[in-house]
Structure 1
Amino acid sequence: MRLFLALMPPPSLRGRLGALADAAQARCGGRRMPDESLHLTLAFLGEVEETRAAALVDWVSRLAVPPGEWRLNAWGRFQRPGIVWVGGQAPDPALVALHCRLWDELESQGLEGRPSRYVPHVTLLRRAERLETEGLPTPALTWRYRHLLLVRSFTRDDGAHYATLARSA
């Protein structure tokens, strides 16, 4: 099964992120991410066997995540594959530290896949026709977090869907 560790925004923030996604889609085109799928990936694990997934559920359930606050105040884009996102003007030190800590622990459990670079962001659009974020409203959001989730991603005819397998302590 395909897994990742993520922060999920509270409903009020999710709605505000959705409004930014609408503005971005009007300017850039592309496929807008549904509000319910908006998240911050901390660690993408890829395909994981069921026995290992069960161990990860147990690990995440016992994991303590220090509460934090992330300021989303900048637009960004990844040229390939045409992604438009919101995040911080600079990588947030607490999120980068959490990402590194998670990968240290995941690697000690035998998992591989740590990226060479981590840019905390929330993907709003995929396959954008234009990567022109100039002139879009400046994001000014604060995301307070206390927990992370172990999430399973699966694809249906209507796109990707997520199921929460575990929540940190």
Structure 2
Amino acid sequence: MRLFLAIEPPPELRARLGALADLARAQCGGRRVPDESLHLTLAFLGEVETARVEALTEWLQGVSPEGGEWRLDSWGTFRRPGIVWAGGKTPDPALTALQARLWDDLESLGLGGRPSRFVPHVTLLRRARRLALDALPPIALAWPWRRLTLLRSFTEQDGPRYEALARSA
């Protein structure tokens, strides 16, 4: 199973992020990420054997993140895959620390793949034809978070879809 750990936005923020995705698509083209798929990835685990999912679920249900509030105030891109995203101009210390702690735990569970760099972001568009962000409006959103979700990714004809397998306390 293709898995990752994420923070999901509350419904009202999800709708606001969806509106930003619409604005970005009008400017940049590409494929818009559906509202229900918007999230912040903390740890991409890749293909994980079905037998390990139970241990991951048990571990995650015992995790109690302190929570916090992430400030989204910037547009960004990843050129190679044509990604347009929303995130923060400066690194969020709480998210950075949480991501590092999660990877410490995941590695102790025998999972690898810790990235060399963590750029907190929410992907809004994939395969954008233009990465011109100058005409997009400023972003000023607050994302309160308290829970982590273990998500399974499915690739379908119209793009990836996600299923929640477990949530933290």
Normalised-by-shorter TM-score class = over 0.9
Q: Which amino acid in structure 2 is aligned with residue 95 of structure 1? A: L
Query: Is 2:52 aligned against 1:44?
Result: no
For residues 90 and 130 of structure 2, the distance between their equivalents in structure 1, rounded to whole angstroms, comes to: 23
Cα distance in 2 between the residues matched to 1:105 and 1:18: 32
Match of 2:119 in 1: 119
| Residue in 2 that maps onto 1:61 | 61
- Range that drifts further, 151-160 or 80-89: 151-160
Q: Could you say what secondary structure the match of 2:162 adopts?
A: strand
Instruction: Quote the offset at 1:156 in angstroms.
Output: 2.2
Structure 2 counterparts to residues 147-166 of structure 1, below 5 A: 147-166=147-166
| CA drift at 1:135 | 1.9
- Give the Cα–Cα distance (whole angstroms) in 2 for the partners of residues 42 and 52 of structure 1: 19
Residue 132, structure 1, aligned to residue 132, structure 2: yes
Report the equivalent of 1:75.
Answer: 75
Match of residue 6 from structure 1? 6
TM-score, structure 2 length as denominator?
0.98
Alignment pair present for 1:106 and 2:110: no
Match of 2:116, SS state, is: coil
Distance between the aligned counterparts of 1:157 and 1:83, measured in 2?
18
One-letter amino acid of the structure 2 residue matched with residue 73 of structure 1: D
Give distance in 2, aligned partners of 1:103 and 1:133.
Answer: 32
Q: Is the 8 A contact 2:27 2:135 kept in 1?
A: no
Among all aligned residue pairs of Structure 1 and Structure 2, give the percentage whose two residues are the same amino acid: 67
Q: Which runs of 4+ in 1 moved over 4 A?
A: none
User: Aligned with 1:154: secondary structure?
Assistant: strand
Q: Deviations over 1:46-68 (max 9, x none)?
A: 00001111100110011111110
Q: CA deviation at 1:140?
A: 0.6
Question: What CA deviation, in whole Å up to 9, does each residue of 1:57-82 have, x standing for no partner?
Answer: 11001111111000000000011111
TM-score (norm 1): 0.98
Number of aligned pairs? 169
* Structure 2 unmatched runs, 5+: none
Output the amino acid matched with 1:34. P
**8 Å contact 2:70–2:144 — kept in the other structure?**
yes
CA distance in 2, matches of 1:54, 1:105: 15
Deviations 1:97-155 (A, max 9, x none): 10000000100111100000000000000110010111211111000000000011112
**What is the letter of the counterpart of residue 72 of structure 2?**
L
CA distance in 1, matches of 2:92, 2:153: 25
